[in-house]
């Protein structure tokens, strides 16, 4: 039996990519997928390549959306799409590589972030999501793992640049109204669960705003929110056992303080400001009709505090002045939408011969076959990022 990583590495080598590092593996009902870092021999640059196992197990609809929506989203806080190609066993999406892991990995190390840093990160996330919504794309899987980090150095020191990735669950304004349960537990809005059981549609825009609220909450408090259900014990996993008809009446508790366990085991406590807690309660409002909207959120004084100069009016400029220019550049530099649709069709067509000879990657216990082990920069190499967007 051949290790899947070896199969991928050989196939990518014939396309001019030398695999350097294994980043992620998901074996899903709709087909397995791997994400790898590879050296692009033509440009001598690192790229990230997301490889989907070919065959009818892939959801054509989801793959087409992931490829086509991502292609059209050119924004400094969305990871850049480069190209798609087929190998005998995989459809591969090549992206610009974000070198410093994802935000979940940083949170795991830090426990939680100070309010100012959490706000700076949140401003970038909101800018990206607002842009996607402006283009009519609702992500439906916003989470810290899908926010990639590049630590940049500038005149004022080092800071985090965040970029949104993974459009596998996204829906467009022209697609059917979202009805299915999509996203990641813990980040999914209550009405999404409710409407899935009731087979009614929900608003992808409001669902993304809830997920943004969960991201901000986790940056500040580390864990997922506690939810109060009248006359019931508190549940950290709010969806477990929650009654369907109460889902959109849940109340998310917003603690007054952040508690961080520091190295010597002592707890460090700092207060979260009232405006920040108020905003969180409006983001994590279980009733989507009462939830704050993105335009309202972008006007709140807390959100606008220390707002990065380069983000002021950025989305508006992209939408207005640069729209036609970017469209032309996309058509010039990227594969056409028709070509990408053709590649997706070919990818789902049939199971390639010989698949039964290929085993899952040997990644148990973190060892990724013969690729280097994934290593994030440590706190000592990257100090006090102030997270202003670049």
Ligand X SMILES: Nc1ncnc2c1ncn2[C@@H]1O[C@H](COP(=O)(O)OP(=O)(O)OP(=O)(O)O)[C@@H](O)[C@H]1O
Q: What residues are labeled active site?
A: 141
Residue among 89, 97, 113, 202 that touches ligand X (CB under 6 A):
97
Q: What are residue 321's phi and psi, to 5 degrees?
A: -80, -40
Using the minimum distance from each CB to ligand X, give the nearer residue, 72 or 303: 72
- Give the closest residue to 254 by CA, choosing from 292, 212, 216, 291: 216
> Is 206:199 a contact under the CB 8 Å cutoff?
no
Say which residue the tokens 């986790």 belong to. Answer: 218
Rounded least distance, CB 200 to ligand X, Å: 25
Q: Which member of 4, 50, 89, 195 binds ligand X (CB under 6 A)?
A: 50
Residue 35 lies near ligand X (rule: CB under 6 A):
yes
CA distances to 74, 80, 103, 377 from 45, rounded to whole Å, are: 19, 14, 23, 19
Give the shortest CB-141-to-ligand X separation in angstroms. Answer: 6
Q: Is 79 in the site for ligand X (CB under 6 A)?
A: yes
For residues 373 and 358, what is the distance between their CA atoms, to the nearest angstrom? 22
Closest approach of ligand X to the CB of residue 107, in Å = 12
Least distance to ligand X, CB of residue 258, Å = 24
Question: Residue 146 interacts with ligand X (CB under 6 A)?
Answer: yes
Kindly state whether residue 30 participates in binding ligand X, applying the rule CB under 6 A.
no
Residue nearest to ligand X (CB): 48
Residue number with CB closer to ligand X (50 or 77): 50
Q: Does position 24 bind ligand X by CB under 6 A?
A: yes
Q: Using CA atoms, how far apart are residues 205 and 121, in angstroms rounded to an integer?
A: 20
In contact, 263 and 95? CB cutoff 8 Å: no
Kindly tell me which of 66 and 191 has the beta carbon lying closer to ligand X.
66
Query: Smallest gap, in angstroms, from Cβ of residue 284 to ligand X?
Result: 22
- Rounded to a whole number of angstroms, the minimum distance from the CB of residue 79 to ligand X is 5
Query: Do 184 and 178 contact (CB within 8 A), yes or no?
Result: no
Per 3-state DSSP, the chain is made up of helix, strand and coil in percentages (nearest 5) of: 35, 20, 40
By CB under 6 A, tell whether 389 contacts ligand X.
Answer: no
> Which 102-141 residues touch ligand X, going by CB under 6 A?
102
Query: Is 315 marked as a binding-site residue?
Result: no
Q: Note whether 78 binds ligand X by CB under 6 A.
A: no
Do the Cβ atoms of 115 and 220 come closer than 8 Å?
Answer: yes
Q: 2-39 burial by CB neighbour count: b if 16+ within 10 A, else e?
A: ebbbbbbbebbeebebebbbbbebeeeebbbbbbbbbb
- Binding segment for ligand X among 161-169, 207-215, 216-224, 323-331 (CB under 6 A)? 161-169
- Per CB under 6 A, does 165 bind ligand X? yes
Was 166 annotated as part of a binding site?
yes
57 among annotated binding-site residues: no
81 is a contact residue toward ligand X (CB under 6 A): no
Compute CA distances 269 → 114, 220, 341, whole Å. 11, 12, 52
Question: For 41-89, where are the E strands, in sequence order?
Answer: 45-53, 81-86
For position 91 contacting ligand X by CB under 6 A, the verdict is: no
- When the beta carbons of 98 and 242 are compared against ligand X, the nearer one is 98
Side-chain half-sphere exposure of 330, counting CA atoms within 13 A: 19
Residues 6+ apart with CB under 8 A from 104: 143, 144, 145
Q: Which residues are annotated binding-site positions for ATP?
A: 145-146, 166
Binding site residues, ligand X, CB under 6 A: 23-24, 26, 33, 35, 48, 50, 79, 95, 97-98, 102, 145-146, 148, 165-166, 168
Q: Which residues are annotated binding-site positions?
A: 145-146, 166
């Amino acid at each position: 039996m051949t290790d899947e990583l070896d199969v991928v590495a050989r196939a990518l080598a014939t396309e001019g990519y030398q695999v350097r590092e294994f980043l992620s593996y998901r074996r899903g009902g709709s087909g397995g997928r791997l994400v790898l870092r590879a050296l692009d021999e033509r440009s001598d640059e690192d790229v990230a390549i997301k490889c989907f196992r070919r065959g009818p197990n892939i959801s054509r609809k989801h793959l087409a959306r992931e490829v086509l929506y991502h292609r059209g989203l050119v924004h400094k806080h969305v990871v850049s799409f480069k190209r798609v190609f087929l190998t005998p066993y995989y459809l591969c999406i090549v992206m610009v590589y974000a070198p410093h892991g994802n935000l979940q990995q940083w949170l795991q190390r830090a426990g939680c972030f100070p309010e100012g840093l959490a706000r700076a990160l949140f401003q970038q996330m909101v800018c990206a999501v607002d842009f996607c919504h402006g283009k009519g794309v609702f992500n439906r899987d916003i989470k810290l793992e899908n926010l990639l980090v590049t630590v940049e150095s500038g005149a004022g020191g080092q800071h985090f640049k965040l970029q949104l990735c993974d459009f596998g669950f996204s829906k467009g304004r022209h697609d059917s109204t979202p009805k299915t349960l999509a996203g990641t537990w813990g980040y999914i809005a209550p009405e999404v669960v409710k409407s899935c059981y009731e087979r009614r549609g929900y608003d992808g825009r409001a669902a993304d705003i809830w997920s943004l609220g969960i991201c901000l909450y986790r940056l500040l408090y580390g864990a997922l929110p506690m939810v109060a259900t009248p006359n019931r014990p508190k549940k950290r996993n709010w969806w477990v056992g929650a009654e369907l008809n109460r889902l959109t009446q849940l109340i998310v508790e917003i603690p007054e303080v952040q508690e961080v366990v520091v190295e010597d085991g002592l707890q460090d406590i700092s207060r979260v400001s009232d405006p920040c807690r108020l905003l969180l309660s409006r983001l994590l409002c279980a009733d989507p009709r009462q939830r704050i909207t993105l335009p309202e959120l972008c006007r709140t004084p807390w959100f606008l505090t220390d707002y990065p100069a380069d983000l002021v009016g950025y989305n508006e400029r992209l939408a207005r002045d640069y729209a036609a220019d970017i469209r032309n550049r996309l058509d010039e530099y990227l594969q056409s939408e028709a070509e990408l649709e053709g590649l997706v069709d070919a990818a789902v067509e049939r199971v390639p011969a010989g698949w039964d000879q290929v085993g899952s990657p040997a990644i148990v216990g973190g060892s990724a076959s013969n690729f280097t082990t994934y290593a994030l920069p440590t706190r000592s190499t990257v100090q006090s990022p102030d997270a202003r967007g670049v």
